[in-house]
Structure 1
Amino acid sequence: MIVRVAFGTVLSLGLAAASPQELITFDGSCVYDGDVLDTEGVYGFESDADAEAATKRIMDQTGLVQNFTIRAADVPNAAAVINGESRMILYNQQFMRDVRRTTNTDWAAVSIMAHEVGHHLQGHTIRAGGSRPASELEADRYSGFVLHKMGATLEQAQAAMNALGSEAGSPTHPRKSARLAAITNGWQAAEDIRRNGTTPASQTPTNASTQSQVPTPPVSGGSGMPVPGTVTSPPPIQYVSRVVFPQDPVVYMVTNAGDIVALTPTGPALVGKRAPPTMPGFAWMYQTAFVTYGVTFAGEVIGQYPNGVFYPVGFVTAPS
């Protein structure tokens, strides 16, 4: 099956259709290839209709509500930025056009947008310090995963990184080989799900609306004789706690079955599992296909940089 991602038309529009302009300032940012954004702000313009559509297709794979806007801007390439409670993805239209010409595939531009979407969905822009190697690899893995779900081959998912990545790396961005490995890991995770024909058991939600009623051995009546035809219904889904990531408007809940779900307008969307602790000092692990955080006995949600340093990302509270 051939899937056409309409980015070539988008990029060919250039800046001619981008108006009105505005000065965009930001508190934090994650840039695709490590370039530094102007601390005084950048100029933003209306995004292309097809760029919006491509991003919607990316978000459709998650089941989550889009919590950011998209703007064309005078950034070096593409960036996820945040200013207060406002989140944006900024992209340079000429850069995207050049990427498509260099790689000869629309998927290259889509993978860059997916990478920036991954930064927002995983809360990277709310952390102090901007881009970090671990954050970039998480966003790369997300792009590989979601591009597979959209129909891209591994080669197409890696096209932009193969063309743009540097083997030298930097203090904020890993070397190209590491980033390609992260994209491959995400793409392969999606392929494993497709090959198995279902979501892995560790990520299958358990609730009354989807679980079938399974007959159990007959229950004895007062006479000690079994009561025929008795069935036991599965327990109703209950939220036992809420996971809060500051400045992230999405509500994440933990169910009595250990599922982590995001509450969306169309209903709960499964995003991960509550897993047993894998390191000392943690009560449990917040685990998704893209990231794993430790949760302390005090309810703090903690991430870890590659050098072993821990950093806070959120907290757990009561469900109401």
Structure 2
Amino acid sequence: DQVYGFTSDQEAEQAVARIMRFTGLPQNFTIMAANVPNAAAVIREGKRLILYNQAFMERVKRTTNTDWAAISILAHEIGHHLSGHTLEAGGSRPETELQADKFSGFTLFKMEASLEDAQAAMESMVSEGGSATHPPRSARLAAIANGWMEARDQTKRTTPNESLPENDTPPERQPIVDEPEEDIPPPDPAPGLTIVARCTFHDGSASFLTSTGEIYTNYMGTTISIGRRVPSQQPGIAWFYVVQSSDPTVQYYLNIMGLSGTTYAVDDDGVIWGQNAWGQPVQMGYVTYQR
């Protein structure tokens, strides 16, 4: 069927920006309201899109009585893009749906949702019976729980002095989409490396420059190298931020996201510059140097 896209609402845009902030990667897809049954991650004419039905999202929020339900659905679709599922032929498959469900659970823990809230949409909106393209509800709830608990366990290992409440879930907090974003903790690079600057992008993602010129970020609780600093000979440009990784697995995902080889210019004032679709320079973020 023909799909028609419309301008997305501000709440959805801000929710996606918050989700992407916890991946450590810049957002390189477009979110659009569309005449789809619920939500979908697709590629159209070479462009990565997340499509969602506004009436469906409103129904999800009314049925579950929590904003987390709609956020979990968007996180699921983002998981499809980040995992490269939209580049594979054949459409939905049970194994890729479970991978996206796990990503949703992992991310919602990072966003401080309870396990109950992370599973709310799946619990209320999906039938128990599976199909050739989607697993049964019980399997999908288990995948969300697996991702949520994996993120919880990583947090326990990295913050040993902080304990969870007795019910083993973080405090429930309804998301306020326009609230000030929490600070992103710096990654823990290899021993001997020192963080000398933070690169903050306008979509909320952040990465960190080390003394050796490597650029690291946090991705799903793991420190990964995603780029390097390249000196500049151009007047007014201090250095270039080149997205590239020597790790084959990381490089694979950078290729999937269309980010590999992307180069940003950092000017003498610390402003990060990129290009829009028409090749015009646009401000992407800023660099804060350690003192």
Shift in CA distance, 266/57, structure 1 to aligned 2, threshold 3 Å: farther
Partner of residue 261 from structure 1, selected from 225, 230, 235: 225
Post-superposition offset of 1:150? 0.6
2:174 is the counterpart of 1:210 = no
- Letter aligned with residue 209 of structure 1: L
- SS of 2:226 mapped into structure 1: strand
Residues 41 and 51 of structure 2 are in contact (CA less than 8 Å); yes or no, is this contact kept in structure 1?
A: yes
Partner of residue 111 from structure 1, selected from 63, 72, 92: 72
2 CA distance for matches of 1:115 and 1:108?
A: 11
Partner of 1:13: none
1 CA distance for matches of 2:247 and 2:116?
A: 30
Alignment of 1:1-320 (within 5 A): 38=1, 41-197=2-158, 205-206=189-190, 208-210=192-194, 236=212, 260-263=224-227, 286=249
Post-superposition offset of 1:237? 7.2
Post-superposition offset of 1:287? 8.3
- Letter aligned with residue 189 of structure 2: P
1 CA distance for matches of 2:247 and 2:104?
A: 21
- SS of 1:42 mapped into structure 2: coil
- Letter aligned with residue 71 of structure 2: V
Post-superposition offset of 1:67? 1.4
- Letter aligned with residue 152 of structure 1: A
Residues 145 and 187 of structure 1 are in contact (CA less than 8 Å); yes or no, is this contact kept in structure 2?
A: yes
Shift in CA distance, 190/63, structure 1 to aligned 2, threshold 3 Å: same
Relative to the length of structure 1, the TM-score reads 0.55
- Letter aligned with residue 205 of structure 1: P
Residues 64 and 262 of structure 1 are in contact (CA less than 8 Å); yes or no, is this contact kept in structure 2?
A: no
Post-superposition offset of 1:210? 3.2
1 CA distance for matches of 2:189 and 2:85?
A: 26
Relative to the length of structure 2, the TM-score reads 0.60
Q: Which has the larger radius of gyration?
A: 1
Residues 261 and 268 of structure 1 are in contact (CA less than 8 Å); yes or no, is this contact kept in structure 2?
A: no
5+ residue gaps in structure 2?
Answer: 161-186, 196-210, 218-222, 229-239, 261-291
**Percent same amino acid at aligned positions?**
55
Post-superposition offset of 1:174? 0.6
Q: Which has the higher contact order (CA 8 A, sep 6+)?
A: 2
Shift in CA distance, 46/238, structure 1 to aligned 2, threshold 3 Å: closer
Residues 40 and 50 of structure 2 are in contact (CA less than 8 Å); yes or no, is this contact kept in structure 1?
A: yes
**CA offsets, 1:259-310, max 9 Å, x none?**
753349978799x977xxxxxxxxxxx489xxxxxxxxxxxx7xxxxxxxxx
Post-superposition offset of 1:236? 4.9
2 CA distance for matches of 1:153 and 1:54?
A: 17
Shift in CA distance, 267/287, structure 1 to aligned 2, threshold 3 Å: closer
In angstroms, what is the RMSD of aligned CA positions?
A: 3.8
- SS of 2:6 mapped into structure 1: strand
2 CA distance for matches of 1:198 and 1:237?
A: 28
5+ residue gaps in structure 1?
Answer: 1-37, 212-234, 240-251, 253-258, 275-285, 289-300, 302-312
Shift in CA distance, 148/56, structure 1 to aligned 2, threshold 3 Å: same
2 CA distance for matches of 1:54 and 1:184?
A: 21
